[in-house]
Amino acid sequence: MNKNIRIGGASGFRGDSYRATSQLLKDDSLDFIVYDYLAEITMSIIARARAKKL
């Protein structure tokens, strides 16, 4: 028997919507929620911004 699985995805990239989790949790049709935290990119953006301030 084939069963469809519905997956909602969100990212943790700097500037992404802070409401993503609450929006996904309200969707009763989702079976799973996955996240992709883009720490490497975010940290390099923060480091570059800090370097410009020095």
How many independent structural domains does the chain possess? 1
Task: Answer yes or no: pTM beyond 0.75.
Answer: no
Q: Is residue 2 part of a domain?
A: no
Note whether residue 43 is domain-resident: yes
What are the C-alpha distances in Å from 32 to residues 15, 36, 45?
23, 13, 30
**Residue 1 pLDDT > 80:** no
- Contacts of 41 by beta carbon, 8 Å cutoff, 6+ apart: 13, 14
pLDDT tens string 6-51: 999 887 776 777 788 889 999 999 999 998 777 777 788 888 889 9
State residue 51's pLDDT score.
Answer: 92
Residues of the domain holding 28: 7-53
Q: Is residue 31 part of a domain?
A: yes
Q: Is residue 1 part of a domain?
A: no
Q: Is residue 24 part of a domain?
A: yes
